[in-house]
Amino acid sequence: MSKYDPLARFLEDLPREQLVVTLSFADVARLVGGLPPSANRLRQWWANDSKVEARAWRSAGWHVDSDGVDFNGEKVRFARGKVGGTRARRLGLE
C-alpha cells in the first residue's frame, strides 16, 4: 500500500462525467498525510512519470494537466485520461 493510495481512491470515486478536478495542495496533503516540501516548489514533483505519487493518480485514470500546477495559488488540476490532451480540453471545458 502506498501513501498516495488515498489520493487514487479519491480520484477513482469522482463521477465518471467529471473530467477535471482542482485540489489545493492542502487538500492533497490531507488525503495523503502530508506532502514533501518539494511538492510546494518543484514542478517535476507533479510530473506524470513513474514516481510513486504519479503512479497513484495515473493508476486511477487521471493525470496532472500540462499547465495544471499553480504554485502561487497552491493548487493542482487533475484531468481524466492519459497525458497528451484531455477530453475536457477537446470539449472546451477547460
Task: Give dist(CA 69, CA 82) in Å, integer.
Answer: 17
Considering the entire predicted model, what is its pTM? 0.85
Give domain status of residue 33, yes or no: yes
14-66 pLDDT, tens per residue? 999 999 999 999 999 999 999 999 999 999 999 999 999 999 999 999 999 98
Give domain status of residue 74, yes or no: yes
- Specify whether the CB–CB gap between 79 and 62 falls below 8 A: yes
Cell 498525510, residue located: 33
CB neighbours of residue 55 within 10 Å: 16
Give domain status of residue 44, yes or no: yes
Give domain status of residue 93, yes or no: no
Task: Give dist(CA 29, CA 36) in Å, integer.
Answer: 9
- Strand order of the sheet with strand 62-70? 20-24, 75-80, 62-70
Give domain status of residue 92, yes or no: no
